[in-house]
Amino acid sequence: MQVQTQFSIFLVNKPGVLAQVTTALAKAKVNIIALTLVDSSEHGVLRIVCADDAEKVRRILGKANDQFTETEVLTMELANRPGNFAAVVEKLAAAHININYAYCTGGARGGKTMAIFKVADLKKALRVLKPAKSPGKDARVRVKASPRRRR
């Protein structure tokens, strides 16, 4: 679990505009770890979280003359299993933390997925979701899925 910069890029809704932005990032060898695109009739908003440092992404987007904003989001690697996402949002709900929006990357079966959360209170969310540290253990968040029902 970590806090990362998300870029929201405002795109004209016409063919090739998304390709221009993603190609500029690809040529600079920027790895996009998560993205979502929402549209309206006139424009779209591309939200991306990148593995590279925010300054590099900021420079590339600035050169491409794209309008964009930045915000801090909470990113979490989850096992790609039923109930893992629900367990995280249940913890946030129990702590009365509003989720403004969230999205996940596609994950391979049995693999990992990246969950992105834009929350109203980032510091409180970090406290609530902080993993219990065990000596010698990896500090990544491990969320147990709800028990499976047997038929």
Q: Could you read off the pLDDT of 121-143 as tens digits, one per residue? A: 999 999 999 876 655 444 444 44
Angle between helices 54-63 and 17-27 (to 10 degrees): 130
pTM: 0.79
Q: Could you read off the pLDDT of 37-76 as tens digits, one per residue? A: 998 777 899 999 999 789 999 999 998 877 999 999 999 9
Q: What percent of the chain has pLDDT over 90?
A: 63
User: With 90 as the cut, is the pLDDT of residue 13 above it?
Assistant: no
User: With 60 as the cut, is the pLDDT of residue 149 above it?
Assistant: no
Task: State how far the Cα of 83 lies from the Cα of 43, in Å rounded to an integer.
Answer: 34
User: With 60 as the cut, is the pLDDT of residue 111 above it?
Assistant: yes
**Which residues on adjacent β-strands are paired with residue 79?**
112
pLDDT at residue 77, rounded to an integer? 92
Supply the mean pLDDT for the chain: 86
Q: Which domains does the chain have, with CATH numbers?
A: 2-72 (3.30.2130.10), 73-129 (3.30.70.260)
Cβ contacts of residue 23 below 8 Å, gap of 6+?
A: none
Q: How confident is the model at residue 147 (pLDDT cuts 50, 70, 90)?
A: very low
pLDDT at residue 112, rounded to an integer? 87
